Amino acid sequence: MSLNPLKRSFDTMMAMLKVKELSEDAIMTTDSPSQSFMSTDSGAMDIDNENDPKYSGRDVHRLSSSHLGTQSTQHVNTFIVDQHGSHDSTSTTGQTLNTFQYFADLPSKVRLLIWSFAAPAARTRFLELHTYNTIDHTPRLRYIPPLPPLFSTNQEARSFSIAHEGGEIVTFTSSTFTDLLSFHGRKIGEPEDEEEEEKGFYFNFNLDIIWLSVRFTAACNTTETLRLTTLSSILPPTTLSRIRRLLISYSGIDSYALIGPLLRPYSHLTTLYLCMNDERVRENVKTLLMKGIPAKGAMADKLRSMIEQAEAEETDDEEESEENEKERLAVRQWRRVLEVDTKLGE
């Protein structure tokens, strides 16, 4: 095999990547709740517009199989045009650079270097759980914003992206769930390769926020307590204990009387957000909210009070170590319960 085509293609790619290195990613990177949310008293939070295909979070169950093959190609072509300021995306041979057939022949260190240039900076994502399935006891997922294209390029790119973003693959307790990480609806019985026998979804416990939205079930009529109960049943206790930020949409039909004990497994939960403007909430609840009923901050205060009351009545867990107990109680000292608005539908 002649090395000239390989060298020309590689030089072109490295030149493209060098330009990208100089152009910093403008996407927000944050680990601070105050940068992610604004309370209902001071404004609303900007999240990608769900109705705009350009910015919407992508439902991982609703993309056809063609996206896996075309998404990364489109990304590369757009990048060539934008970064070089030219609409000429042809090689020295006059052929369009839609593919790079020698990529697999590159040394692994070079491939990883290329992935590192192509990967955006880690950032906060909202992981919406919706349309809970009572047959296999799993919800569908939507990342806001969507996961980078490298997550659906190939196994090597996906593994690199997971490490680069600082997250990990989290599994449900159910053994018969759909592959939520797949971008083209592949089922658990149809693995991409032997290394993907155990399915799961990507999550960064330090950055990401789980969102239990109103459409957690298709009927959109579940209380916050029921959604939290379901979440506690489909994730292992070790996973629940690592969740730091949780967003639950306000339903208008929950008394919160039973929600306190449900939060005990969430030993590292630092912030519980109550979304007050979920577009799918029932119309009568939406009307009351527009009239200022309940008053701003009232539901967060009620929820906080119910949680603290339940915690005051707790008994010691004999199986919990003294160190874990101290850590759990320390987290509670500065845990927050906040009402927030999101801007998903604007």
Quick: pLDDT tens for 187-204.
444 444 444 444 579 999
Residue appearing with tokens 């697999």: 104
Query: For the CA atoms of 81, 87, 89, 93, what is the dihedral angle to 10 degrees?
Result: -150
Task: Report the pLDDT averaged over residues 212-230.
Answer: 92
CB contact at 8 A, 144 and 48: yes
pLDDT top residue among 293 and 87: 293
270 vs 306: CA distance, rounded Å: 16
The token duo for 303 is 């929820």
Strands 271-275 and 126-133: unpaired
Give the tens place of pLDDT for each residue, 257-305: 999 999 999 999 999 999 999 999 999 999 999 999 999 999 999 999 9
Does 234 score more than 50 pLDDT? yes
The token duo for 344 is 């998903």
pLDDT band at 219 (very low <50, low <70, confident <90, very high): confident
Q: What is the pLDDT of residue 295?
A: 97
pLDDT band at 174 (very low <50, low <70, confident <90, very high): low
Q: What is the pLDDT of residue 169?
A: 96
Q: What is the pLDDT of residue 83?
A: 32
Strands 336-340 and 271-275: parallel
Return the top range by mean pLDDT from 63-72, 85-94, 203-212: 203-212
Q: What is the mean pLDDT of the chain?
A: 75
Task: Report the pLDDT averaged over residues 87-112.
Answer: 75
CB contact at 8 A, 78 and 198: no
pLDDT band at 56 (very low <50, low <70, confident <90, very high): very low
The token duo for 208 is 């990401």
What is this structure's pTM?
Answer: 0.70
313 vs 269: CA distance, rounded Å: 19
Does 63 score more than 80 pLDDT? no
